[in-house]
Amino acid sequence: MADSNSKPRDTRRPGAIRRLFERVMVLAAGRNALWALAIVSFTEASFFPVPPDPVLAAIALAQRHKAWIAALVCTLASVVGGLLGYAIGAFLYETVGRWVISVYHLEEGFAAFQRGFDEWGGWIIVAKGVTPIPFKLVTIASGIARLDLTTFVVASAITRAGRFFVVAAVVYAFGPQARVIMDRYFTAVMIGGTALVILGFVAVIYL
């Protein structure tokens, strides 16, 4: 006979976004987590729409002792991927580059970003790279402007490390509490993350 005081079991299936998050967490705890992070970070710097921050945070949650190495892998892969974006801007803009910009509807922001190079040069990478602005826009525009390659690499390394190590540091600092927060406020966290991406695209268009 069942205990009349026992609570009914929750049989509701998790939403699609939560299921995706759980799968990412499983991947983050696996042997290939850093490789997956490197691929996402590399491709995001040139054409892929999804930022690597959620994967980095998941690895730092699942394997806290790898938080710093994950941030380093994320940074290095992003800088190398940025070189691909630079090459697209420098040599393939009329074909690949223009297509990437049009897919994300970044034409107006792209033109404004190019004008920024005239005033700020490589410093614009440092200023914009830590914001939600798509990094692919930064890298492709740098290639078109034929920014000095050493300046590009150094500026990219500074801005990417600044962003990714902050993500790792926040997750590392909270430790197990970070997972509790993600579980308890999952929807709010996802909405907040999506809002940041949208704000990045808005900033590209209007700022």
In a domain, 7, yes or no: no
Instruction: Tell me the one-letter amino acid at 144.
Output: I
Tokens representing 140 are 């492709």
Enumerate residues 6+ apart whose C-beta is below 8 A from 102.
Answer: none
In a domain, 21, yes or no: yes
pLDDT tens profile 79-123: 999 999 999 988 988 888 888 888 867 677 677 666 767 667 677
In a domain, 2, yes or no: no
Quote the number of domains for the chain. Answer: 1
* Best mean pLDDT range from 54-58, 128-132, 133-137, 173-177: 54-58
Angle between helices 16-28 and 33-44 (to 10 degrees): 120
String of DSSP letters for 63-94: -GGGHHHHHHHHHHHHHHHHHHHHHHHHHSII
CB 191 within 8 A of CB 94: no
Radius of gyration of the chain (CA): 19
pLDDT tens profile 116-126: 676 676 777 77
Domain with 21, as residue range(s), is 16-206
Structure confidence at residue 47 as a pLDDT band (50, 70, 90)? confident
pLDDT higher for 180 or 97? 97
Structure confidence at residue 138 as a pLDDT band (50, 70, 90)? confident
Torsion angle, CA of 88/89/93/95, rounded to 10 degrees? 10
In a domain, 131, yes or no: yes
pLDDT at residue 37 tops 80: yes
pLDDT at residue 206 tops 90: no
In a domain, 8, yes or no: no
Tokens representing 187 are 């929807």
Angle 166-125-123 from CA coordinates, rounded to 5°: 110
| In the chain, beta strands by DSSP E | none
In a domain, 6, yes or no: no
In a domain, 84, yes or no: yes
Counting residues of the chain whose pLDDT is more than 70, the rounded percentage is 62
In a domain, 4, yes or no: no
CB 168 within 8 A of CB 56: yes
